[in-house]
Every structure is written in C-alpha cells, then in structure tokens.
Structure 1
Amino acid sequence: MHATTGNDAPTITIPTTHNGPDGSGNGGYSAGLLAARLTDVGGPAVQVTLRVPPPLGRPLAVEAEPGVPLRLIDPEAADAKARLIAEAETVAAPDAPAVPGGFVDPAAAKEAEGRFAGLDLHPFPRCYSCGPERAEGEGLRLFAGRVRAGQGADGVGNTVACTWTPHPALDDGTGAVGLPDVWAALDCPGGWSSDVSGRPAVLGRITVQALRAPRVGAEHVIVGYLDSVEGRKIRTGSALYDADGQVLAQAWATWIALRG
C-alpha cells in the first residue's frame, strides 16, 4: 500500500491510490513522505508546508540545501510557480497539546463514527484518509464524527473522534504502521472538526510529533479538535491514542478553505 522509496532516494513518488481530492496527493500522506527524510517515529517533530496540490504517480525531486527547508519539487511543472510542492523542516513541538480535551474512549469514538458528516455529503469521497468510497484495505476509512457531551472530551462542540484498527496492508515490515500513514491518519480527523461538508478545505501546513508507532491489528482512537477559524484559515489539532489512552502521535494543522 505505501511507497518503498528509501530515505536517501533523490525522488519521491506519491502512489496514485493515495489521493485527497481526486488527482492530487492526500495532504497528510504526501507531507509524511517528505517528513520521513528528516525524522522517524520517536524523532523530532517536523513541520511541512504544502505549496501546491501534490501530483500523483510520477517522480518528484527532493532538494536539500544547508540552511533552508527540505524541498519537494515537480520538475515537470509547466508553470514555474507550481514547481515547489512542499517544504519541510524539524521544529520544536508546540507546548500546548494538539487536542486540549484529550482521550475519548473507544466505545464513544466508535459511536461518534455514526455522526461522521462525510457519510451524507463528502467533497472528496475517495480520499485515502477519510473517503467512504474506499474499500477496506484500500484507504484508512477514518470517519471522525461529533463527540457527545459526557463522552470524555472537553470542548465537545469542537471535537470529533473515530476508532482505527490499522489494516495488515499498512504493515511496514515490523508489525507497525509506517510514518507516512501515521501522518495520513492525523490529517483528515483534524479537518472534520470543522464544517468540511459545507466548506471544503485542503491541508496547508501540518506539524507532527510521532512518539510511538501504532500497531497493525490493534484498536486505536483518533481525536480531532477545531482550534480557530480566521477567514479562509482553519486551525485544528489531532491526536492518535492507543486503546488505553496513551498518546502515540499528535498534529497541529492549518487548513485553507477553497474559494467558492
């Protein structure tokens, strides 16, 4: 399911199956592929800024230069402004937790999935992370729905949750999920804490701190949190927990609402 390019390879290819909107890369997965050149699970946090929609299915150049962020370049871009796809750099993880309310227990998270707004209206129904049209094993199928009052999270009106049991197709060879898929798992649940159905948005910037890798076949919980909305900018947090409530990874993200 996931790319096999080594961390020192000069190019990255985003598989055609790993889209967000049709025809472009899932933001979290694409950012995670680039971040894997700078860190791994247990390593420093990385911030990735996506400049244009990541193209699928063709080699993209990784450019490293001292003193500037790592860059992902599309050498085939007809427009010079579209050549720079993304930039990545290691950063200190923010002091504030990505999800202030914390853990939602698995039973409540499972129940919240029935309120996933994307089941009724989804702007990108084949999204690798949250698309309901993706079959089991062909996408993550993360359906983060609203958490009810009393179900374990503060700031309930701003909180969504879902469960996640990683499919065997995500095994990185160690029984764990690889870093790009961890980033993909943290992506859309944060976005769905806002009104994605009524106001579609795409990932603009994401900072991820991956502490421990989720285990394939084990149940996990992902919680998304809406921090603020300022014009077209939507700021969210998301966190990945094991079934006992231990934080495995968390993300702070800025989404950009699409015009129109």
Structure 2
Amino acid sequence: MTALQISRRFNGPPGSGNGGYVGGLLAEQHPDAAVTVMLRNKPPLETPLQLSDGKLFDGATLIAESRPGAFERDVPQAVPYGTAEAASSSYQANEMFASCFVCGSARTDGLRIEAGPVSEGLVAAPWSPDDTLPIDTPLLWAAMDCPGGWSLDAMFERPALLGSMTATVFDLPAVGEKCVVIGQNHGDQGRKSYASTAIYGSDHRLLGRAEQIWIRLR
C-alpha cells in the first residue's frame, strides 16, 4: 500500500483534485505504458490517501481506480505554435473552473492552459512548463486533462467533469519548451461526452496522448 496526498495547488473543481493530475499519480505507479484511470468520487485535497492494487482510497471510500489502457482513435494532429497562441486568445473563462490548476484564469501558480477554438471540435493552447514543479507523468496527465473538456460542445450550458482518462507519456518537455496542447471533441452519448488530447513539443514530437470520457452535470 502506498500513501498519497494531493496538494491544494493541484485542485480541479473547487475543493477537489484535478482529475488528470490524480490520474497521473496512479499511472506513475502502473507498470503499463497506457493506463486507464476511472474517477469514482471527488479526490480530496490535503488528505492522506491509500493506493493499493491500482485503487485509490480515502478510508473506505473508493476515489479512483486504474487498469491497463488501450486507444480507440487516432491521435489529434499538431497545429503550429502560432495557431495555438491565436486560439488561446479566444479562450472563454468559466467561473466554475476559474481556480483550476490546469485551465483556471484566476490562478497565478497554475499551468494556464487556456485552449481556444482552431476549427469545429478542435481546440489548442500553447504551454511552456516552468521550473516551479517537477516535469513528470502527473504534470503531463494534468496538462492533457482540461483541453478535452474545452473541446466539447456547449460546455458553458452543460458543464462536464472528467469521468475517465486513458493516457500515456512518451517524452518529457524541457523547462521553457514551447509546447502545444490539443483537444478534440468526439461527440456525446447521453450524459457522456468523448474527447481526445495530445501534447506536442517544440520539434513537433508527440510527448503524450489521451482519450477521455466526460460526464455532463445534471
């Protein structure tokens, strides 16, 4: 059994951990290259948690569980860094997610990955990791989280939270490297919405990819 604790810095929705970051913590302990993480309850912050056999617990409450993953779609294609910058200038902040570690516009210590539209169903944002945090698997899982959500149709009218994420990390960017993060919408089925994301480095190498299921709030 491994003890984990999610720092307050890594929140997603108010009062709970960012789903991508939490998924990356589980994936870091997993022997498989591609890992699927399913979020079962809100991950609490600043609380001792227990990771056992790929399952994360808060006492007796199951927070998340992981298993070997596989991809079902083609990876989203890269766009030029300048295109991602222009798209990000059209990012529409949502008060519900303003404090999110990944996309929150109110955060000065977050990633500020503010994905805006490139074309129908496709969003992009520039990202350059700094030296205030380790550049590791959980950080890249976090970076691949929110752009998928912002690719969804009607995200303002029908907000969604991450339900599950399958991802793998191929390589890590350098501090200050000019990266591009892509999110692509794959449609809805009932309350479930599907998306995929990817991170590309400054030389267009694929750093990581993910496929996601988002759950629309009632």
Normalised by the length of structure 2, the TM-score is: 0.95
> What is the aligned partner in structure 1 of residue 71 from structure 2?
94
Picking from 145, 159, 163, the partner of 2:116 is: 145
Query: In structure 2, what residue type is equivalent to 1:128?
Result: F
Offset of 1:95 from its aligned partner? 5.1
SS in structure 2 of the partner of residue 168 of structure 1: coil
> What is the aligned partner in structure 1 of residue 217 from structure 2?
258
> What is the aligned partner in structure 1 of residue 33 from structure 2?
44
Are positions 1:108 and 2:83 aligned together? Answer: yes
Runs of 4+ in 1 over 6 A off after TM superposition: none
Higher normalized strand content (fraction of residues): 2
SS in structure 1 of the partner of residue 129 of structure 2: coil
Q: Residue 103 of structure 1 contacts residue 241 of structure 1 at CA under 8 Å; is this kept in 2?
A: yes
Are positions 1:159 and 2:132 aligned together? Answer: no
- Between the two proteins, the alignment pairs up a number of residues equal to 217
Are positions 1:179 and 2:137 aligned together? Answer: yes
Deviations 1:195-221 (A, max 9, x none): 322221110000001111122111000
Normalised by the length of structure 1, the TM-score is: 0.80
Offset of 1:250 from its aligned partner? 0.3
Gaps of 5+ in 1: 1-8, 65-69, 148-155
> What is the aligned partner in structure 1 of residue 47 from structure 2?
58
Q: Whose radius of gyration is greater, 1 or 2?
A: 1
Deviations 1:69-103 (A, max 9, x none): x110111xxxx6xx010001122x3253232xx11
SS in structure 2 of the partner of residue 222 of structure 1: strand
Q: Residue 234 of structure 1 contacts residue 257 of structure 1 at CA under 8 Å; is this kept in 2?
A: yes
Give, in whole Å, the separation in 1 of the partners of 2:30 and 2:18: 19
> What is the aligned partner in structure 2 of residue 5 from structure 1?
none
Deviations 1:31-68 (A, max 9, x none): 111111114xxx6100000001111101101112xxxx
Offset of 1:252 from its aligned partner? 0.1
Give, in whole Å, the separation in 2 of the partners of 1:122 and 1:231: 25
Gaps of 5+ in 2: none
Offset of 1:247 from its aligned partner? 1.0
SS in structure 2 of the partner of residue 169 of structure 1: coil
Q: Residue 47 of structure 1 contacts residue 88 of structure 1 at CA under 8 Å; is this kept in 2?
A: yes
Offset of 1:123 from its aligned partner? 1.8
Deviations 1:129-167 (A, max 9, x none): 1000000xx1110000001xxxxxxxx200000000001
> What is the aligned partner in structure 1 of residue 98 from structure 2?
125
Q: Residue 123 of structure 1 contacts residue 196 of structure 1 at CA under 8 Å; is this kept in 2?
A: no
